[in-house]
């Protein structure tokens, strides 16, 4: 005896006709007939009297139908309980945020995040992209906020917003007074990357249309681990950088910051979770909190070009 068979006999009781009941259950009439007959053979008596028109339950069949209704109601109750449990907006959540985003986005969203999910206790940790994916898989963190897509088939992704990249030029740059920035060959050799941030660096090489994985050779090399250090070096007249716009959200009037010409390169930022994560309502509330906190400029529908990183030869070789 199966749950599906119980559903079939309830449909048959309502419709009192095999063809109509099959139509309601979205199956063929022979399939429904076979399953009802199998159940009758299993219990040892007829549930429906086929000699009657319209179809009519036998006295024993009426009792089976009555009990089937109770069973299916309990099953629906279990489903409702499961959904409610999954969607409870309370408890502890460990949120991992990629290090190129965390210092700039978290201060903007933390107040709205608390308002949207007042019963959630957050532990926010900062990691590199590779660490985020590893920690999602081993259960060290519940949710990651990072650049997507990851290309990782073991994880689920929920895009939230697109963040433009901007150029950050040193004071002596030949294009410092121009309204927009276009990449030149001479700038590529002066492009500064971040140490061990393979995802971020892969995006920059993608923007510059560099497919080689060979390191950029310079007279002076840097091992920089933060965007803020990178910006300070550039302001001291060394190199250029391509950085996320949120990192200069309070520096837009500075001459160092240059917007790209359309289509503007952007990174997609989204939530990433393991396949066993089931609190979808929580992700929706967190997404709302982030979107409501973003500067209006990031919500505008400009002509963008999404920059990937998971398919980069640099990223694959680095790992």
pLDDT tens digits, 97-112: 999 999 999 999 999 9
Residues 236 and 289 placed together within one structural domain of the fold: no
Contacts of 127 (CB under 8 A, 6+ apart): 96, 97, 98, 99, 135, 141, 144
Domain total of the chain: 3
% residues pLDDT > 70 (the chain): 88
Identify the pLDDT of residue 207: 83
Residues 168 and 261 placed together within one structural domain of the fold: yes
Ordered alpha helix ranges (H), the chain: 3-15, 18-24, 29-43, 59-86, 102-116, 129-138, 185-188, 198-207, 227-235, 280-293, 296-299, 313-318
Q: Is residue 219 part of a domain?
A: yes
Q: Is residue 59 part of a domain?
A: yes
138-172 pLDDT per residue, tens: 889 999 999 998 888 889 999 999 999 999 988 88
Q: Is residue 186 part of a domain?
A: yes
Per the structure, the complete domain to which residue 78 belongs is given by: 3-86
Boundary-marking domain end, from 86, 114, 139: 86
Element (H, E) at 158: strand 155-168
Identify the pLDDT of residue 299: 81
Backbone angles phi, psi at 309, to 5 degrees: -135, -25
Query: How much is the average pLDDT of 177-204?
Result: 82
Taking CA 238 as the corner, what is the angle to CA 234 and CA 241, rounded to the nearest 5 degrees?
50
Boundary-marking domain end, from 68, 86, 104: 86
Distance from C-alpha of 270 to C-alpha of 286, rounded to nearest angstrom:
11
Q: Is 140 left (phi over 0), alpha (psi -120 to 50) or beta?
A: alpha
Other CB atoms within 10 A of residue 283 CB? 17
Is the confidence at residue 173, as pLDDT, over 60?
A: yes
Is the confidence at residue 217, as pLDDT, over 60?
A: no
Q: Is residue 309 part of a domain?
A: no
Q: pTM surpassing 0.75? A: no
């Amino acid at each position: 005896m199966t749950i599906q068979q119980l559903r079939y006999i309830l449909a048959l009781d309502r419709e009192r006709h095999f063809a109509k009941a099959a139509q309601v259950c979205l199956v063929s009439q022979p399939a429904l007939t076979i399953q009802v007959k199998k159940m009758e053979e299993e219990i040892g008596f007829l549930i429906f009297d086929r000699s009657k028109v319209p179809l009519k339950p036998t006295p024993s069949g009426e009792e089976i139908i009555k009990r089937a209704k109770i069973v299916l109601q309990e099953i629906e109750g279990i489903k409702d309980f499961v959904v409610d449990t999954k969607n409870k907006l309370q408890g502890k959540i460990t949120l991992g945020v990629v290090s190129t985003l965390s210092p700039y986005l978290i201060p903007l969203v933390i107040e709205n995040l608390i308002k949207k999910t007042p019963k959630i206790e957050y532990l926010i940790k900062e990691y590199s992209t590779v660490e985020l994916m590893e920690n999602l898989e081993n259960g060290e963190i519940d949710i990651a906020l990072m650049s997507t897509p990851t290309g990782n088939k073991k994880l689920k992704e929920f895009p939230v917003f697109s963040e433009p990249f901007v150029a950050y030029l040193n004071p002596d740059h030949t294009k410092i007074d121009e309204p927009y920035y276009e990449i030149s060959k001479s700038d590529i050799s002066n492009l500064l990357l971040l140490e061990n941030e393979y995802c971020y660096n892969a995006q920059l090489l993608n923007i510059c249309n560099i497919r080689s994985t060979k390191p950029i050779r310079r007279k002076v090399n840097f091992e920089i681990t933060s965007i803020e250090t990178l910006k300070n070096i550039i302001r001291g007249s060394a190199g250029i950088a391509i950085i996320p716009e949120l990192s200069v959200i309070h520096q837009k009037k500075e001459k160092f910051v240059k917007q790209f010409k359309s289509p503007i390169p952007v990174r997609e930022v989204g939530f990433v979770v393991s396949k066993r994560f089931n609190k979808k309502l929580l992700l929706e509330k967190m997404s709302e909190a982030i979107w409501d906190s973003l500067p209006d400029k990031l919500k505008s529908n400009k002509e963008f070009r999404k920059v990937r990183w998971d398919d980069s030869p640099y990223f694959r070789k680095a790992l």
